[in-house]
Structure 1
Amino acid sequence: MPRCLSFTVARDRCYRRAFLSAGLRPSSTALADGATVHCWVPARPDPSRPPLLLLHGFGATAIWQWSAYLRPLLRAGFDLYVPDLLFFGASKALGPDRSESYQASCIAAAMEAAGVRRFGLMGVSYGGFVAYRMAAMYPAAVERVVLCCAGVCLEERDLASGLFVVSDMGEAIEILLPQRPEKLRQLVRLSFVRPPPVMPSCFLWDYIQVMCTNYVREKTELIHALINDRKLSDLPMITQPTLIIWGEQDQIFPLELGYRLKRHLGDNARLVVISNAGHAVNLEKSKELCRHIIAFFLDSPLKNHNGQMCCGMRWKIFYNFAGLTLRRLASKFQGVPKKAWITSVDV
């Protein structure tokens, strides 16, 4: 399908416009080793607003996975930083390192270049692997962490033991990097509790050509680096308060991995299981997930990128809630004589 007629290209442009209209701008950071990190950053950073870094999963670029979260998180008082991980979107690297530790170091360098010294952090799926490593490697920079359906506690032997729907690496790569419509259909059906009932091949081919044909070799190497020789005993502990969120019916990273991660982190972590959601919980239940994110990061005073406490955020939420409550109350008594208000409220 010509790019001028591509549904996927049109959708990508819509997402890009949504980021621009939300007050973010694209930025590229060239690192010393030749890597380039593309990131959406605030057009007008506000030192009074705490920075929040959002890391996308393996399926697409940053704008495809985070567009639904921009307005709610901005209204809650955050400054948002939304990068493309290496070999996604416009981010790339020249060297051979494919580990999540290298991804973490590149994202941390981009945040430092943006002048952000301390921030909250959220990662979805593969982005959660990178987020976990960032929290372990940069405890002075990462204040709190949300990990969504991130199977960081998986072990290579889990493939052979039957924990996953696939039993070998090759089959997993074919699903996670679909090059044919039937594999993309399989990925969607594994990711969603309620997948679209009809997925025409023409639209699937269009999506594959636009989103799934770049950096196939490098992304294959990312998957191998993620799983090969992985052992829970090698996973470092992180000390930041951590919220673990999981879709109850996740078929990519089964819920057992969420419980395993909670046991690994102990009292330092809390696990939230979202019902009627699969691995794509960030797309299926975006509003519910967003409420958990905001509540978690507002649970304690966050700091802005200068290390100063941001005290106004709870009051913003309170005023928003109070204003909504008063509007609802006013609509309830619309047309009711003022003398009857007290009696009605008491009842």
Structure 2
Amino acid sequence: MMKCINFTAIRDRCLSLSFRSAGLKSTITTLHGGDTTIHCWIPKTQNPSKPNLILIHGIGANSKWQWDPIISRVTRAFNVYVPDLLFYGESYTSRPERTEEFQGECVMRTLEGVGLRGKFNLVGLSYGGFVGYSMAVRFPEAVERVVIVGSGVSLDAEMDLEDGLFCSKNIKDAASVLLAQTPEMAKELLRIAFYKAPNTNFVPSCLIRDYIHVNLNPLFHFQMQE
């Protein structure tokens, strides 16, 4: 049986071209004696007159998918660095750590490895907000300003869930929705996440399955190892 075209993979390649057109290049940095690999988009040419900006993505897709809508605009004003967090894109570790503090430490060491010097501004989206917040706490001498978008950094996970603030009863139930591994769970996530949820009844499951395979399969490893 002939395999269908993977439109998600094609879209992913187009996003890579978009990042390159915005003046960025793809880099790989190895840490912890080769146990950790971090992929990061960095400026092709560093402009000393521009401030530095770090964009940290959230759960659900790698950095290209979440930051492409603004990437061509922010690169005009900043030296932009866009890492893929662990278990997204080409970023991976064989070490057992799974905290946002460890993610932040890996991002910081990667920035140092690619030659970033001096202070930088940071934007963290959703889960990336937790990572960015931990970086600001741990590396105050480097982080000048932080913007946190849609991220509950003040959340007390256990207490707030128990008090009924969220529809999920515990962290494990929330993770099973956020880290959707089937088309059905992905549709459920959209119904929960949007006030006016899009109608997913007519979206072929094969397209959603391709998206999960390209963007979310590494997260299954992240979830199972926690």
Does the alignment reach a TM-score above 0.5?
yes
Q: Which structure features the higher share of strand residues? A: 2
Distance 1:200 1:53, change over 3 A: same
- The structural deviation recorded for 1:206 is 1.9
In structure 1, C-alpha distance between the alignment counterparts of 2:197 and 2:17, rounded to whole Å:
26
- The structural deviation recorded for 1:2 is 7.3
Count of aligned positions? 221
Distance 1:3 1:136, change over 3 A: farther
What amino acid does structure 1 have at the position aligned with 2:21? S
Contact 1:24 1:41 in 2 (8 A): yes
> Which runs of 5 or more structure 1 residues have no equivalent in the other structure?
225-347
Contact 1:173 1:220 in 2 (8 A): no
- Spell out, residue by residue over 1:182-214, the C-alpha distance to the aligned partner (whole angstroms, 9 max, x if none): 210111222233443233322212212222222
Contact 1:8 1:207 in 2 (8 A): yes
Distance 1:140 1:28, change over 3 A: same
Distance 1:139 1:60, change over 3 A: same
In structure 2, C-alpha distance between the alignment counterparts of 1:200 and 1:6, rounded to whole Å:
12
Percent identity (aligned): 43
**What TM-score, normalized by structure 1, do the two folds share?**
0.61
What amino acid does structure 2 have at the position aligned with 1:39? C
TM alignment of 1:39-50, pairs within 5 A: 39-50=40-51
**Among 203, 210, 213, which residue is 2:207 paired with?**
203
In structure 1, C-alpha distance between the alignment counterparts of 2:14 and 2:43, rounded to whole Å:
19
Residue 193 (structure 2) aligns with: 191
1:163 maps to 2:169: no
Distance 1:220 1:184, change over 3 A: same
> Which runs of 5 or more structure 2 residues have no equivalent in the other structure?
none
- The structural deviation recorded for 1:115 is 2.0
- Spell out, residue by residue over 1:198-256, the C-alpha distance to the aligned partner (whole angstroms, 9 max, x if none): 333222122122222224132344xx5xxxxxxxxxxxxxxxxxxxxxxxxxxxxxxxx
Contact 2:61 2:215 in 1 (8 A): yes
**What TM-score, normalized by structure 2, do the two folds share?**
0.91
In structure 2, C-alpha distance between the alignment counterparts of 1:139 and 1:169, rounded to whole Å:
30
In structure 1, C-alpha distance between the alignment counterparts of 2:2 and 2:66, rounded to whole Å:
24
Structure 1: which 4+ aligned runs deviate by more than 3 Å?
A: 1-4
In structure 1, C-alpha distance between the alignment counterparts of 2:91 and 2:215, rounded to whole Å:
14
CA RMSD in angstroms comes to 1.8
In structure 1, C-alpha distance between the alignment counterparts of 2:154 and 2:23, rounded to whole Å:
36
Distance 1:27 1:4, change over 3 A: farther
**Among 207, 217, 220, which residue is 2:221 paired with?**
217
